[in-house]
Amino acid sequence: MAYKQLLLLLFMVLAMLPAGAQNYEEDKVQPYTLPDPLVFTDGSRVKNKRQWKKKRRAEILELFEHEMYGRSPGKPENMTFQVFEQDTQALNGKATRKQITVFFTGKPDGPQMDILLYLPNQVKGKVPVFLGLNFQGNHAVHSDPAIKLSPNWVWAGGAGVVDNISTEKSRGATASRWPIEMILERGYGVATVFANDIAPDKKDNVTDAVRALYPELQNRDDNFSTMSAWAWGLSSALAYLETDKQIAAKKVMLFGFSRMGKAALWAGARDERFAMVISNESGGGGAALSKRKYGEDVERLTRGNPHWFASNFKKYNKNEEALPFDQHMLLALIAPRPLYIASAEEDRGADPYGEFLAAKAADPVYRFLGTEGLPSQEFPPLNQPVHGRIGYHIRTGKHDVTEYDWKQYLNFADKHLGNKRP
């Protein structure tokens, strides 16, 4: 083999090697200092709620946009919606199912996404709705045979098995994470969008889906990242939900699991129309503190999935101490709206303790704005949730979404949205 070929092979092998070993030992966490969300970058302190809303909040948002998640475009000027299917007797009469296509450019041959929406038939009046992105296509969240199969690539089999065209193999594949009947029985609706409709979860996808519409936001250090595209797509989904007369538009709640939890937090931070935000094991780049360097650190995030974040974020690989913010400040951007952070005992990569510490560090902003914040300043025992304006639990089990998790979210929504069981 020629020297150049050997060199090329070596580079390819090195590129495929995993990032440095992750830390899973608490006693190896070095001392760190978190920036105070209530202190401006010039060192002066926020004096009142108006200063927070008009100045400090904007300052923090700018930091995250420039250094981590990247810029996002505004609402598409020509975006249109089409309800292409509606059944008022879905799920054996329990629900009304709607399937809606969002045309981002208003053109049927342009980028688009499908919203799957279930509303409980037993509720009189407008319905609060949980909105979240899914991993494998709308048809994967329930075995309902009427759900349109996604035309985009999905995981059709086990982990890492990808089909370029969706198949029946993945119908209902993630139903355990979306207990739709239970949510409907509690008087809430469910809306979901396949994340890959908005932006495929793969590297070098700047010419795919919605990111292709904004070439001016690429090839720059604060580029329109995949994570920002997903968050932007959630706001676009809300734009439709606001037009649906059956939905309580001011009671739309964001839900996200894992990387979609990261996107939900960023969407909720950017878009104050969302009434509540739920992060289910979002970990590094989501709810967990980066400066702890525990579990999924910045290098692993940016090396394993460079498309998720803006190019600027790579500056902090093995250099988290230089971050001018941390994830507690992302959580603070959601204040004073209700926020729920959930962890799992065996999900060490997501750093459950780091997620709790971020919630705890966001608490002063919630209290400054006149809410109860996080009721417990001590890490709670397993399966013993705390529900203030900030909610938190760590449950037994692994990286997943369970019925236990959803029961807590429904109870939390009941508390803050005043929803009465039908």
What CATH number is given to the structural domain containing 265? Answer: 3.40.50.1820
Per-residue pLDDT at 3 exceeds 50: no
Domain assignment of residue 8, yes or no: no
Q: Which residues pair with 261 in a beta bridge?
A: none
Catalytic annotation, residues: 258, 399
pLDDT band at 153 (very low <50, low <70, confident <90, very high): low
pLDDT band at 12 (very low <50, low <70, confident <90, very high): very low
Domain assignment of residue 7, yes or no: no
Per-residue pLDDT of 89-100, as tens digits, reads 999 999 999 999
pLDDT value of residue 154: 64
Per-residue pLDDT at 14 exceeds 60: no
Rounded to two decimals, the pTM is 0.93
pLDDT value of residue 17: 40
Cα distance between residue 185 and residue 407, in whole Å: 12
Q: What's the rounded mean pLDDT across residues 281-310?
A: 96
Q: What's the rounded mean pLDDT across residues 398-421?
A: 93
Q: What's the rounded mean pLDDT across residues 216-230?
A: 96
pLDDT band at 403 (very low <50, low <70, confident <90, very high): very high
> What SS3 string covers the chain?
CCHHHHHHHHHHHHHHCCCCCCCCCHHHCCCCCCCCCCECCCCCECCCHHHHHHHHHHHHHHHHHHHHHCCCCCCCCCCEEEEEEEEEEHHHHCEEEEEEEEECCCCCCCCEEEEEEEEECCCCCCEEEEEEEECCCHHHCCCCCCCCCCCCCEECCCCCCEECCCCHHHCCCCHHHCCHHHHHHCCCEEEEEEHHHHCCCCCCCCCCHHHHHCHHHCCCCCCCCHHHHHHHHHHHHHHHHCCCCCEEEEEEEEEEECHHHHHHHHHHHHCCCCCEEEEECCCCCCCCCCCCCCCCCHHHHHHHCCCCCCHHHHHHCCCHHHCCCCHHHHHHCCCCCCEEEEEECCCHHHCHHHHHHHHHHHHHHHHHCCCCCCCCCCCCCCCCCEECCEEEEEECCCCCCCHHHHHHHHHHHHHHHCCCCC
pLDDT value of residue 166: 57
Total domains, the chain: 1
Domain assignment of residue 81, yes or no: yes
Domain assignment of residue 253, yes or no: yes
pLDDT band at 151 (very low <50, low <70, confident <90, very high): confident
Domain assignment of residue 22, yes or no: no
pLDDT band at 421 (very low <50, low <70, confident <90, very high): low
Per-residue pLDDT of 60-113, as tens digits, reads 999 999 999 999 999 999 999 999 999 999 999 999 999 999 999 999 999 999
Q: Are 281 and 258 in contact, with CB atoms under 8 Å apart?
A: yes
pLDDT value of residue 167: 73
Domain assignment of residue 84, yes or no: yes
pLDDT band at 161 (very low <50, low <70, confident <90, very high): very low
More confident residue, 49 or 203: 49
Q: What's the rounded mean pLDDT across residues 414-422?
A: 81
pLDDT value of residue 7: 38
Domain assignment of residue 26, yes or no: no
Domain assignment of residue 388, yes or no: yes
CB count in 10 Å sphere of residue 319? 11
Per-residue pLDDT at 280 exceeds 80: yes
Q: Which two tokens stand for residue 76?
A: 């598409």
Cα distance between residue 183 and residue 163, in whole Å: 30
Q: Give me the chain's average pLDDT, please.
A: 92
Q: Are 319 and 299 in contact, with CB atoms under 8 Å apart?
A: no
Q: What domain range is 204 assigned to?
A: 49-417
pLDDT value of residue 418: 81
